[in-house]
Amino acid sequence: MSNLIPPHGGKGLTCCLLEGAELEAEKKKAAGLKQIPITPRAKGDLIMMGIGGFSPLTGFMTKADWKGVCDNYLIADGTFWPIPVTFDVSRADADAIKEGDEIALVDPQTNVVMATMKVTEKYEMSEDEKKYECEKVFMGEGTPSADEFWKIAKDDHPGVQMVMNQKEFNLAGPVKVLSEAEYPEKYKGIYQRPEESRKIFDDRGWKEVAALQLRNPMHRSHEYLAKIAVEVCDGVFIHSLVGNLKPGDIPADVRVKCIDVLVKNYFVEDKVVQGGYPLDMRYAGPREGLLHATFRQNYGCSRMIIGRDHAGVGDFYGMFEAQTIFDKIPAPEEPGKALLCTPLKIDWTFYCHKCDGMASLRTCPHGKEDRVLLDRKSTRLSLRHHAPEAPLRGR
C-alpha cells in the first residue's frame, strides 16, 4: 500500500506507452499510416503521455479542452490542467487527414515513429486564437497591456514564439506511444517513469516528497531549497529537465554529474532521489509552475518547490507570481479532479556573510552589502564581485 499522493485526475497513471507484442504490432501498422512530422515539444509531450507523466491526459487536446485550459485551467471533463497540450499540423497535412483517420507521428530528426494517433477532431487555429492562447498562458499579471506584452513577447519570449510558430491546424485524439526515444539509454538511472520514481519513494517509506525543478546547474540556492525540503518532508526529488535546451546551456549529462557530486558530498544520500524528465521548457512562468506541480504529482511528489521567478524568462513575470497563482486557480467541481500537489514556497535566497550561511529575504535581516546574490538573468554567480569574500566549502 503506497502512502504517496495519488496521480493527478483520479484515474491512476494513465500510461499509453505500448510494450511487447502490442508494441510490435502497432509499429507494423504505423508503417502503413500517413507519417506526420512532430516538433521537439510534441515529442516530449508524447513521451510524458506514454509513461503517465501527464496523467490523466492520453492524447492531444480538443478545441474545447484548449479553450477550457486557457480560460479556466480545466479540460472539457472538468479536470485541472494549466497549459494547452495540442498538436499542430500544416494546412496541407490537415487537408489530407479526416476525422477518424489514424496517423503516425514521426520524429523528423531520427525518423522514429514516436506514436500513432486516432484523429477525433481537426480544428483550425487562427492567428487570433494563437494570440489568445499566448495572452492567457504567457502574459504576467504585471503586464500593463496586451499591446505592451506583444511589443516584447514576439521577439523575446521563446514560449510565445513556439505557439505563434505552430502550423494552421490542430489535431486532437488519443495516442499510442511507441518509443521513449533516446532517454532510457542516454539518461540511464536518471530518466524514470512515474511508476519507477513512485517505487523508489515507496521502498523508502516516503509519504511527503518535495520536487525540485532544475534546468540549470545546481548551485547553493538550489541546495538550500532542497535542504529546507529535506528538513520538512520525507525526501526531495531533484528532477532535471533533460529535454531540449537553448544553445549555450550546460548539457544535461554534465548537470546530472554535478548534482551527483553535490548529493554525494553535501546531502544525506537516502533523503534524495535524482531524476530527469523529457520535456522542453515552455517558459510559461506561473502556469508552468502549475504544470510542474501537476506532473510531479504523477511522479509521486506532494510538494513542488517554487522559488523566485520559477520557469520565468526575461521580465515577463513577477518574481513570485508562480507562487501566488496556486492560491488563485479556480477549484474544479469534483475535488478528485483538482491539483493536489501543493507549492513549497521559498523566498529569494542568497549567501549572507553576517548570517554566516544561506538565507532568504524571509530569514536574513542584513543588508545588500552582506549578501552574495545570483545574477538573476544569467543565473551565474556574480563571482567577479564577491569571490574575494566568499567562504570556502568543506575546508
357 binds a second copy (CB under 8 A): yes
391 binds a second copy (CB under 8 A): yes
Nine-digit cell string for 41: 515539444
Write down the least CB distance from residue 380 to a second copy, Å.
Answer: 21
Which segments within the chain are labelled E, that is strand? 34-37, 59-60, 88-89, 102-107, 112-118, 121-124, 169-177, 209-214, 235-241, 272-277, 303-306, 342-345, 349-352, 357-360, 371-372
Q: Using the minimum distance from each CB to a second copy, give the nearer residue, 259 or 346.
A: 346
Region of 171-179, 222-230, 282-290, 308-316 interacting with a second copy (CB under 8 A): 222-230
CB of 217 closer than 8 Å to CB of 255: yes
Q: Using the minimum distance from each CB to a second copy, give the nearer residue, 134 or 358.
A: 358
> Total residues contacting a second copy (rule CB under 8 A)?
32
Q: Using the minimum distance from each CB to a second copy, give the nearer residue, 144 or 205.
A: 205
Write down the least CB distance from residue 390 to a second copy, Å.
Answer: 11
Write down the least CB distance from residue 363 to a second copy, Å.
Answer: 5
363 binds a second copy (CB under 8 A): yes
Q: Could you give the CA distance from residue 352 to residue 392 in angstroms, rounded to a whole number?
A: 13
Which segments within 134-184 are labelled E, that is strand? 169-177
In terms of DSSP bridges, do strands 357-360 and 349-352 run parallel, antiparallel, or are they unpaired? antiparallel
Q: Could you give the CA distance from residue 379 to residue 152 in angstroms, rounded to a whole number?
A: 21
HSE-CB for 177 with a 13 A CA cutoff? 24
What's the 3-state SS for 232-243?
HCCEEEEEEECC
328 binds a second copy (CB under 8 A): no
Q: Using the minimum distance from each CB to a second copy, give the nearer residue, 19 or 231.
A: 231
Q: Is 215 a catalytic residue?
A: yes
Nine-digit cell string for 279: 520535456
387 binds a second copy (CB under 8 A): no
Q: Which of 3, 72, 216, 244 is catalytic?
A: 216
Burial of 373 (0-12, 13-18, 19+ CB in 10 A): middle
Q: Which of 41, 193, 198, 215 is catalytic?
A: 215
User: Among residues 315, 353, 373, 386, which is the contact residue for a second copy, using CB under 8 A?
Assistant: 353
Q: Could you give the CA distance from residue 110 to residue 113 in angstroms, rounded to a whole number?
A: 9
Write down the least CB distance from residue 230 to a second copy, Å.
Answer: 5
Write down the least CB distance from residue 262 to a second copy, Å.
Answer: 11
Measured over the CA atoms of residue 44, residue 48, residue 53 and residue 58, the dihedral's sign is positive
258 binds a second copy (CB under 8 A): no
268 binds a second copy (CB under 8 A): yes
Region of 2-10, 36-44, 225-233, 273-281 interacting with a second copy (CB under 8 A): 225-233
Region of 118-126, 156-164, 263-271, 288-296 interacting with a second copy (CB under 8 A): 263-271
Q: Could you give the CA distance from residue 6 to residue 77 in angstroms, rounded to a whole number?
A: 19
Output phi, psi for 269, to 5 deg: -60, -35
230 binds a second copy (CB under 8 A): yes
Write down the least CB distance from residue 307 to a second copy, Å.
Answer: 11
Residues 283-322 that bind a second copy (CB under 8 A): none
Measured over the CA atoms of residue 120, residue 125, residue 129 and residue 130, the dihedral's sign is positive
Q: Could you give the CA distance from residue 166 to residue 295 in angstroms, rounded to a whole number?
A: 24
Q: Is 170 a catalytic residue?
A: no
Write down the least CB distance from residue 358 to a second copy, Å.
Answer: 7
Site map 89..118 versus a second copy, x via CB under 8 A: ------------------------------
User: What letter represents residue 169's amino acid?
Assistant: F
User: Among residues 257, 362, 376, 385, which is the contact residue for a second copy, using CB under 8 A?
Assistant: 362
- Catalytic positions: 215-216
Summarize as ranges the residues that interact with a second copy (CB under 8 A): 227-228, 230-232, 265-269, 271, 344-347, 353-365, 391, 393-395
